[in-house]
C-alpha cells in the first residue's frame, strides 16, 4: 500500500520519498493544496494510503510574524483537514513538528522530553503547536519533532544552514553567527529513516501513537556548527560569534531547544548519530558524489573523442 507524503518537494519530504521509493506518493501544492478541505478528502479517499506523512509547513519564521493568517492556515488548519480525513479512513497520520514549540529558557540546560509542556514563542512556533494538537485529535497519530534540518549535498533545491554557510564562506566574506542558541542540527537522511521506522513503513508496524523527538545526538550552537562546516569544507573563512540580539530577527528564537531522543531510541529504530558524525557523513557523501560526477564527465569526454 502507498504512503502519501505531503510537502514532497521539501528537504524531508523529498528524502522520505527517495528512501521509500515507488510506494511513496509525493504530493505537493501542485497536486494537493492541503488548506482545501474538499481537495484533501477527495485525494486521500481516492488514494487510501497506508499512512499520511505531513512534511508540509509554513517555515518562514520571521515572515510569519506579519503573515500569521497564512501561517496558521498551513500549519494548523490544514492539519485539522488531514486529521479528519485520516480518522474517516482509519489511516495513521504522521505530523512533522519542531523544537520551536519549546521557548528555550531553562535554568538548567537539560534536553526536552516529549511529556514536558510546550511554551512556544512567536507565530511560527504557536501555529506548529496548534498543528500538533490538531493531529492529536486523530487517535492514530505520530507527532515527530525535529530540529535544524539539512539535506544531502546533492539536493539542489534544499535551503538550509549548511548550504548558506558554504555559499557565504566561499565568497571570502567574514561571517557573523549567533552563539547563544543551542540546539541539535540534524541530517535529513537520518531523520527520514527514523520517521519511516516510526510509521511502520519497513514492516515493523507503527510505533505506539504519540509524540517522538527525532534529531541527531548531542548539542551545539549555530556558531560552533558553522565552524565545523567550514573546517570540513576546507574553505578559508573568518567567523565571528555574535548574540541573538546583535543579529536581530522579527521572530523570537529558542535559546535552548535540544530534544531528548530517548523515547525514539527505545523503539529500536535506526540509531541517530551524533551531530558531528552526521556532518562528517554529509561531507563524505558530497566528496564521493563529486568524484563520481568527475569520472562520469571524463568518461563522456573520452567517448566523444574516440567517436
Q: Which residues are catalytic?
A: 124
Cα–Cα distance measured from residue 28 to residue 283, given in angstroms and rounded to the nearest whole number: 29
3-state secondary structure 31-68: CCCCCCHHHHHHHHHHHCCCEEEECCCCCCCCHHHCCH
Helix segments in the chain, DSSP class H:
11-20, 37-47, 68-72, 78-89, 123-135, 161-170, 188-199, 222-233, 244-247, 262-265, 275-306
Q: Is 289 helix (H, G, I), strand (E, B) or coil?
A: helix
Distances (CA, A) of 12 to 133, 155, 177, 187, 194: 21, 11, 25, 10, 11
What is the phi/psi pair of residue 101, to 5°?
A: -65, -15
Query: How many C-beta atoms surround the C-beta of residue 43 within 10 A?
Result: 20
Residue with cell 497519530: 141
259 three-state secondary structure: strand
Q: Give the 3-state secondary structure of residue 239.
A: strand
- Beta pairing, strands 149-150 & 141-146: unpaired
Check residue 99 and report its DSSP letter: G
Distance CA 106, CA 123 (A): 21
What is the rounded CA–CA span in Å between residue 299 and residue 304? 9
Amino acid at each position: 500500500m502507498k504512503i502519501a507524503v505531503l510537502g514532497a518537494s521539501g528537504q524531508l519530504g523529498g528524502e522520505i520519498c527517495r528512501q521509500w521509493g515507488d510506494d511513496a506518493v509525493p504530493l505537493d501544492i501542485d497536486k494537493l493544496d492541503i488548506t482545501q478541505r474538499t481537495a484533501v478528502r477527495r485525494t486521500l479517499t481516492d488514494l487510501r494510503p497506508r499512512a499520511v506523512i505531513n512534511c508540509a509547513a509554513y517555515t518562514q519564521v520571521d515572515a510569519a510574524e506579519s503573515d500569521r493568517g497564512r501561517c496558521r492556515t498551513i500549519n494548523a488548519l490544514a492539519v485539522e483537514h488531514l486529521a479528519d480525513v485520516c480518522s474517516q479512513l482509519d489511516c495513521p497520520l504522521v505530523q512533522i513538528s519542531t523544537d520551536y514549540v519549546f521557548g528555550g529558557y531553562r535554568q538548567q540546560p537539560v534536553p526536552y522530553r516529549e511529556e514536558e509542556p510546550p511554551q512556544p514563542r512567536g507565530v511560527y512556533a504557536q501555529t506548529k503547536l496548534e498543528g500538533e494538537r490538531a493531529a492529536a485529535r486523530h487517535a492514530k497519530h505520530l507527532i515527530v519533532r525535529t530540529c535544524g534540518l539539512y539535506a544531502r549535498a546533492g539536493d539542489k533545491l534544499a535551503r538550509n544552514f549548511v548550504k548558506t554557510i558554504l555559499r557565504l564562506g566561499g565568497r571570502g566574506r567574514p561571517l557573523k553567527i549567533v552563539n547563544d542558541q543551542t540546539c541539535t542540527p540534524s541530517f535529513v537522511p537520518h531523520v527520514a529513516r527514523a520517521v519511516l521506522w516510526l510509521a511502520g513503513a519497513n514492516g515493523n508496524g507503527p510505533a505506539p501513537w504519540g509524540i517522538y523527538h527525532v534529531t541527531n545526538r548531542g548539542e551545539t550552537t549555530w556558531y560552533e556548527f558553522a565552524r565545523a562546516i567550514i573546517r570540513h569544507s576546507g574553505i578559508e573563512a573568518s567567523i565571528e560569534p555574535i548574540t541573538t540580539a546583535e543579529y536581530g530577527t522579527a521572530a523570537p528564537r529558542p535559546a535552548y531547544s535540544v530534544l531528548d531522543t530517548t523515547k525514539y531510541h527505545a523503539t529500536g529504530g535506526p540509531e541517530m548519530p551524533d551531530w558531528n558524525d552526521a556532518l562528517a557523513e554529509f561531507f563524505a557523501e558530497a566528496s564521493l558524489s563529486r568524484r563520481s560526477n568527475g569520472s562520469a564527465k571524463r568518461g563522456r569526454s573520452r567517448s566523444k573523442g574516440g567517436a
